[in-house]
Structure 1
Amino acid sequence: MKVSESLELRNGITLKNRFFKSAMSETMANGRNQPGEKHVRLYHEWAKGGAGVVVTGNVMVDRNALGEPGNVVIEDEKDMDILKRWAEKGTEYDTHLWMQINHPGKQSPKTMSKEPVAPSAIPMGEALKGAFNPPRALENGEIKSLVERYVKTAEVAKKAGFTGVQIHGAHGYLVNQFLSPHDNRRDDEYGGDLENRMRFLMEIYKGMRRVLGETFPISLKLNSSDFNQEGFTEAESIAVVEKMADMGLDLIEISGGNYKQPKMSTGTDSEVFFLDYAQKLKEKVDILVVVTGGFRSKESMEAALEKGHTDMIGIARPMALDPHLPNRIMSDDYEKMTTRRLTTGIKGLDEKMGPAVGNVYYAMQLKRIAEGKETQQHTNAWRPLLHLIATHGPQALKPKRRKRR
């Protein structure tokens, strides 16, 4: 079985198989944004589950810039003890545990930020103004300080025992905002043409490589496109990957969309999102590529690997329902998983709240795994909807994105 074969990164490190557990936001940090024993237990279950690589949910670099309640924040080494436990349990069974490092930029809800920051003072848009405050443009010196925050978080991750990091450059978060000509209208060295717009990402990568060393895995999650004529395009995405590959990036995970354009597919007839883009990318760039989203059958996973369309199988939500899914597939105890659509029974409410409710539903399953409970697979949207309202108040009824973390 191709998916059970090992894979070598360009830095010589070997991954035990081709399963890549993509990031999902756990929202389990305490009121001080610290990880705890629930993180330890959840990631230990995923390590036991058999994936070659497990990526954490959003770890934010600034306590004053959160994407949602319950985000873990790492600004320094004060939580090193629990981070070491998290890394120790998450790397058992020869599992790689990579920390996803992020900053929301202007995608920080009103409940989180009175004045979010962004490359330029471009608001989220008319449909989302009720949920997000208008951002202010970052000053040049602030950008350089943010770069160092990303680098510091990566340095702490390595010291704690995580075996890799992932820069989140997708889904409309800060790195993606810098890359997008719609969101980035600066006229200094961080704005203008693509070379300048990718400078923030390049400086983050260079800083991380400086403190992490040449053999420590650094990956990037990147949009194939923003699906917006004024935004980050597929051609620009390929150009960014080419540049990052030349700089020594180890792996690229493909995704797409943002709050305003929550698309997860580029139009392929395959059940797998972004597979057509990944094929184009692999024809141009010598870098390991992971496609995440839509893999449900063992046959589609094997076909994508055999044809060389992806180097690893990215899975997210199915592993929130069955944390041991990779082992089940490799032991031939699996056919196909269906992630069913949640419903309140009210069409208009489902259309408005469906994506946000889905995110809460899967976060609730992660908490159950962390508490040693069985996951609950159902289609009733009322419990996650009520949980969402209890957490966010009236802001919960504002539009939210449909996305993977």
Structure 2
Amino acid sequence: MVTPRLSEPDLLNRPLHLPNGSVLRNRLAKASMSETLATYDNHPTAKHVELYRRWAASGIGLLLTGNVMIDRRALGEPGNVVIEDEADLPMLRAWARAATDQGTALWVQLNHPGKQSPKGLNAVNLSPSAIPFREDMASFFDTPREATTAEILDIIQRFGRSAAICKKAGFSGVQIHGAHGYLVGQFLSPHHNHRTDEWGGSPENRRRFVMAVYAEIRRQVGPDFPVTIKLNSADFQRGGFTEEESMATILELAGAGIDLIEISGGTYEAPAMSGAFQQPKTASTAAREAYFLEFAAKVRAKVQVPLMVTGGFRTAEGMNAALRTGALDIVGLARLMAIDPDAPVALLRGRDSVQRVRPITTGIKPVDRMGIMEILWYTRQLKRIAEGSSPRPGESGLVALIKGLMTSSWGTYRTRRMRA
């Protein structure tokens, strides 16, 4: 049973009971952010342990890892962790214990990038269909190759295998990354999926992939291990995944027994998750803080599966107010945790963080429109925390872009060399 909605003014400190019996100690979660702290041959490191130990020490109830890849041939960026066998079990166990020994749940976000991978990183990028990125992004991303049925079935199996290894390593659960334009989202979106076989065409067929991934993970981890998903409310692209299709997907996943749904939105081409496409029309809408709260309320009216909303939260009062609506069960924080890893200490006491998330810009408009820009900036802050230092909230966006691109280019070169 899902914990009932509560009427007390401070709900952030209340535990949440998931349908499978797992309990989160409070309603604050650190949403997934890409760390790129792995070796260039994709093994986790002591930096992952340090970063998550620091976050767990804040008292937060749930931590989600950055996107962990299920196939070494399909990386989203240099420095991704890949879990496709048990070679890294000792380090994975240390990573899991860094949080769980402090009472914080730690879920691994499992991902396949599909076509959303920097040019030159992978030998080939697979996608439902061979649809290129828009013209101004084509220099960063190759046009993918359409995946064969055999490749699709292999990817589904890999999701399940990776989840089973996560369970064996002692992580508290897994999350399917079905948002932000990665492979699961590509299958769901008619903008990216032009297939005419059983994996494309109708909305039902485009949902087949995510349902198969969920079913395979559940088969390999059993009924008592939390299996969750991060899903777009919409792609915010013409001809893309709509709110109506998102709702239909949520209903099917809820019926299949998924344990929690995190609601987000956008892609690298339309980065709503960063706020770039969020333009509140009224003062009351702006006061709600969260970007996707209105869609969450529509979902709550139809399902009782626990919901997490990430994006836009700024204050303890705004978070509690959102919880009081009953539209969500977990408040997701991402960028704030990168500039203030101790933010939950204040928030769980009813106080606001001393830091404020600000737009990160370079002054180069085409670059600032891309979601990848902010990823580079925040990744640099995570690395500082992982190395035992403090983040730099005032760092220049342009400096971060230049240094981030240099690091990414070098990482791409080293990754390809290690595969040769």
Q: TM-score range by the shorter chain?
A: over 0.9
2:137 counterpart of 1:119: no
What one-letter code is carried by the residue in structure 2 that aligns with 1:247?
A: A
Asked if the contact 2:270/2:371 (under 8 Å) is kept, the reply is: no
Task: Compute the displacement of 1:350 (Å).
Answer: 8.1
**Among 310, 313, 318, which residue is 1:300 paired with?**
318
Determine which of 161, 167, 171 is the counterpart of 2:170.
161
CA apart distance, 1:358:
2.5
The structural deviation recorded for 1:334 is 2.9
Conserved? CA contact 1:340–1:379, under 8 Å: no
Partner residue in 2 for 1:291? 309
Which of 404, 407, 410 matches 1:388?
A: 404
Distance 1:229 1:348, change over 3 A: closer
SS in 2 for 1:49: coil
Among candidates 260, 272, 283, match of residue 269 of structure 2: 260
Q: CA deviation at 1:335?
A: 5.5
The answer for the alignment partner of 2:30 in structure 1 is 21
**Equivalent residue number for residue 45 of structure 2:** 36
CA contact (8 A) 1:52 1:95 kept: yes
CA 1:204–1:305: 2 relative to 1, 3 Å = same
Q: Displacement, 1:331?
A: 2.6
Q: Any gaps of 5 or more consecutive residues in structure 2?
A: 1-9, 413-420
Q: CA deviation at 1:310?
A: 1.4
Q: 1:395 to 1:262 in 2, by over 3 A?
A: farther
SS in 2 for 1:254: strand
Q: Confirm whether residue 282 of structure 1 aligns to residue 300 of structure 2.
A: yes
Q: Tell me how far 1:394 sits from its aligned partner.
A: 11
Q: Is the 8 A contact 2:78 2:411 kept in 1?
A: no
Cα separation, partners in 2 of 1:183 and 1:266, compared to 1, 3 Å: same
Residues 19 and 313 in structure 1, CA contact (< 8 A), matched pair in contact too: yes
Give the Å deviation of 1:115: 2.5
Whole-Å separation in 2 of the counterparts to 1:225 and 1:182: 12
Residue 195 of structure 2: which of 181, 186, 194 is its match? Answer: 186
* CA shift digits 1:110-143 (9 cap, x unpaired): 1312421101111122222211111111111110
Alignment partners' CA distance in 2, 1:283 and 1:329: 28
Matching residue's letter, 1:181: P
Paired position in structure 1 for 2:6: none
**Which amino acid is the alignment partner of residue 293 of structure 2?**
L
The yes-or-no answer on 1:365 pairing with 2:381 is yes
Runs of 4+ that moved beyond 6 A? none
* 2:57 alignment partner, SS class: helix
**Corresponding position: 1:141 with 2:150:** yes
Instruction: Using the TM superposition, give the Cα deviation of residue 355 of structure 1 relative to its aligned residue in structure 2, in angstroms.
Output: 4.5
CA contact (8 A) 1:297 1:337 kept: no
Deviation, structure 1 residue 155: 0.5
Q: Which amino acid aligns with 2:304?
A: D
What is the identity, as a one-letter code, of the residue corresponding to 1:246? Answer: G
**What letter is aligned with 2:241?**
F
Change (3 A) 1:357 1:84: same
Q: CA–CA distance in 2 between the matches of 1:216 and 1:394?
A: 38
Whether the 8 Å CA contact 2:129–2:192 is kept in 1: the answer is yes
Secondary structure, aligned partner of 2:272: coil
Change (3 A) 1:356 1:196: closer
For the pair 1:311 / 2:337, whether they are aligned, the reply is no
Distance in 2 between residues matched to 1:350 and 1:149, nearest whole Å: 36
Corresponding position of 1:400: none
Secondary structure in structure 1 of the residue aligned to 2:364 = helix
Question: In structure 2, what is the Cα distance between the partners aligned to 1:360 and 1:55?
Answer: 19
| Secondary structure at 1:328 match in 2 | helix
| Letter paired with 1:90 | A
Q: Give me the whole-angstrom Cα distance separating, in 2, the residues matched to 1:330 and 1:81.
A: 33
Bigger mean CA deviation after superposition, 71-80 or 124-133? 124-133
Describe the SS at the equivalent of 1:151: helix
Q: Percent identity?
A: 47
* Cα-to-partner distance string for 1:275-297 (whole Å, 9 max, x where unaligned): 11111110111111111011111
Q: Provide the secondary structure at the position in 2 that maps to 1:365.
A: helix
C-alpha separation in 2, matches of 1:354 and 1:236: 25
The answer as to whether partners of 1:20 and 1:54 remain within 8 angstroms in 2 is: yes
Instruction: Give the structure 2 partner of residue 233 of structure 1.
Output: 242
What is the distance in 2 between the residues matched to 1:350 and 1:130? Answer: 12
- C-alpha distance 256-160 of structure 1, shift in aligned 2 (>3 A): same
| Contact map agreement 1:158 1:164 (CA 8 A) in 2 | yes
Equivalent residue pairs, number? 394
3-state DSSP of counterpart to 1:168:
strand
Shift of the 282–332 alpha-carbon distance from structure 1 to 2, 3 Å rule, reads closer
Query: Corresponding residue for 1:399?
Result: none
Contact 2:73/2:123 (8 A) holds in 1: no
The separation in 1 between residues aligned to 2:153 and 2:366, in whole angstroms, is: 42
Measured at CA, do residues 133 and 114 of structure 1 come closer, stay the same or move farther in structure 2, by a change above 3 Å?
A: farther
Normalized against structure 2, the TM-score is what? 0.90
Cα distance 1:15–1:394, how it changes in 2: closer, same or farther (>3 A)?
Answer: closer
Q: Please state whether the residue corresponding to 1:278 is helix, strand or coil.
A: helix
2:69 is aligned to 60
- Does structure 2 retain, via aligned residues, the 8 Å contact 1:111–1:392? no
2:364 to 317, 324, 348: 348
Equivalent in 105, 112, 136 of residue 103 of structure 1: 112
1:83-114 alpha-carbon deviations (Å, 9 max, x no partner): 01101112122111000000000111113124
Whether contact under 8 Å (1:50, 1:325) holds in the other structure is: no
- After the TM superposition, which of the residue ranges 149-158 and 259-268 deviates more from structure 2? 259-268
